[in-house]
């Protein structure tokens, strides 16, 4: 029996359900010597903003037990450079290209990005990164009030000054999530995937808001907020103090959240968070994910994605399963 690994997400038809998570695979060209990129179900690019971003100051990464912290700060060349220098390679791959987009200036930037990208035929879908915890304003920047819930903001302190850090993400508020997705939906016919944050009380509430606003799918989870301290120096190991935790350490949380969201929405889920092999990928499918994104594993094993695809095929063959539809949400409780 030949297993059918194909899945559908919005208007996207994927030959298999394995894609790479944004921010862990660059713009794909960086991995061209390590695996056959055409075997991927889709490529999700590093997040793009309207204008170039230098990202956060170093140190920006550190290893943690069964994972890593990162605070890259969405470093990217901006939309114009992406379209000119990065997209030509991507479109030659012959697989769906999903561009991850984020905003520095509220929902208007999401709309501006979506309007321009809607006209680019070679881009199959957009992932709305409304959940990155690592965007930091400079000390001179205006910090928006908590009432302005459609902006990402974080209060950053001058070096060496003690104090608290406050931040709010679009994905931490159901109303703000709804408004952003609704406004993007109004300007594009392309598939919209909304990336959700685990740093909330009830992720299903946010997922339902994205669905009501017209999102074709949701992806979860983005990184958990964490921190690590150098006990000898008595200083944070990451310059921004807090950062995003990823890797196998967060997988049980991610699987639980995928399972919870699956009970509440009808649109597809792209599951991610600590997937390193076929077995960990299958946990997400059984919990309700239609597709999965491989992230931190790419840094350890650049060929992890293709190995996972092969492992899923073996699982389906071994269990005499005809296709992914029989696996998705098949958890027996």
Nearest Cα neighbor of 40 from 98, 126, 86, 101 is 98
Residue 82 lies in a domain: yes
Does residue 155 carry a pLDDT above 90? no
Count: domains in the chain: 1
CATH of residue 87's domain is: 3.20.20.70
* Across 181-194, average pLDDT: 98
Predicted local distance difference test score (pLDDT) of residue 158: 32
Does residue 320 carry a pLDDT above 90? yes
Predicted local distance difference test score (pLDDT) of residue 2: 82
Does residue 198 carry a pLDDT above 70? yes
Backbone φ and ψ for 77, nearest 5 degrees, come out as -85, -5
The pTM for the full model equals 0.90
Per the prediction, the chain carries an average pLDDT of: 90
**What is the DSSP-derived secondary structure letter of residue 48?**
B
Concatenated DSSP letters of 201-240: S-HHHHHHHHHHHT-SEEEE--PEEE--EETTTTEESSTT
Residue 61 lies in a domain: no
Predicted local distance difference test score (pLDDT) of residue 12: 96
- pLDDT, tens digit, for every residue of 212-254? 999 999 999 999 999 999 999 999 999 999 999 999 999 999 9
Residue 65 lies in a domain: no
**Nearby residues of 65 by Cβ (< 8 Å), 6 or more positions away:** 249
Cα(333)–Cα(330) distance, integer angstroms: 9
Range of the domain at 190: 7-55+74-225+246-326
- pLDDT, tens digit, for every residue of 25-72? 999 999 999 999 999 999 999 999 999 999 999 999 999 999 999 999
Half-sphere exposure of 86 (CA within 13 A, CB side): 23
Cα(214)–Cα(143) distance, integer angstroms: 30
Position with higher pLDDT, 43 vs 160: 43
Predicted local distance difference test score (pLDDT) of residue 177: 96
- pLDDT, tens digit, for every residue of 202-214? 999 999 999 999 9
| Whole-angstrom Cα Rg for the chain | 19
* Across 167-195, average pLDDT: 94
Active site residues: 132
Backbone φ and ψ for 122, nearest 5 degrees, come out as -75, -5
Predicted local distance difference test score (pLDDT) of residue 168: 73
Residue 83 lies in a domain: yes
Cα(131)–Cα(301) distance, integer angstroms: 26
């Amino acid at each position: 029996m030949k297993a059918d690994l194909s899945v559908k997400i919005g208007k996207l038809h994927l030959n298999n359900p394995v894609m790479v998570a944004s921010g862990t695979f660059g713009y794909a060209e960086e991995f061209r010597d390590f695996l056959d990129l055409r075997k991927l179900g889709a490529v999700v690019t590093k997040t793009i903003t309207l204008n170039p971003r230098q990202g956060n100051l170093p140190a920006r990464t550190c290893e943690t037990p069964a994972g890593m912290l990162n605070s890259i700060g969405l470093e990217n060349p901006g939309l114009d450079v992406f379209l000119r220098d990065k997209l030509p390679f991507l479109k030659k791959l012959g697989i769906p290209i999903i561009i991850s987009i984020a905003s520095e200036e509220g929902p208007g930037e999401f709309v501006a990005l979506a309007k321009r990208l809607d006209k680019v035929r070679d881009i199959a879908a957009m992932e709305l990164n409304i959940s990155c915890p690592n965007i930091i304003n400079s000390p001179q920047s205006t910090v928006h009030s908590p009432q302005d819930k459609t902006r990402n903001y974080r209060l950053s302190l001058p070096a060496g000054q003690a104090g608290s850090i406050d931040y709010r993400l679009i994905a931490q508020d159901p109303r703000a999530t709804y408004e952003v997705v609704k406004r993007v939906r109004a300007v594009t016919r392309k598939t919209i995937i909304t990336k959700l944050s685990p740093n909330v009380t009830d992720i299903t509430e946010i997922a339902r808001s994205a669905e009501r606003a017209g999102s074709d799918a949701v992806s979860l989870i983005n990184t958990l907020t964490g921190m690590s301290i150098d006990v000898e120096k008595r200083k944070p190991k990451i310059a921004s103090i807090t950062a995003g935790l990823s890797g196998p350490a967060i997988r049980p949380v991610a699987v639980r959240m995928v399972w919870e969201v699956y009970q509440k929405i009808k649109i597809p889920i792209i599951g991610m968070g600590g997937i390193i092999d076929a077995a960990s990928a299958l946990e997400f499918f059984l919990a309700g994910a239609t597709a999965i994104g491989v992230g931190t594993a790419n840094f350890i094993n650049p060929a992890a994605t293709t190995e996972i695809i092969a492992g899923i095929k073996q699982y389906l063959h071994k269990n005499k399963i005809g296709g992914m539809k029989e696996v998705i949400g098949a958890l027996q409780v």
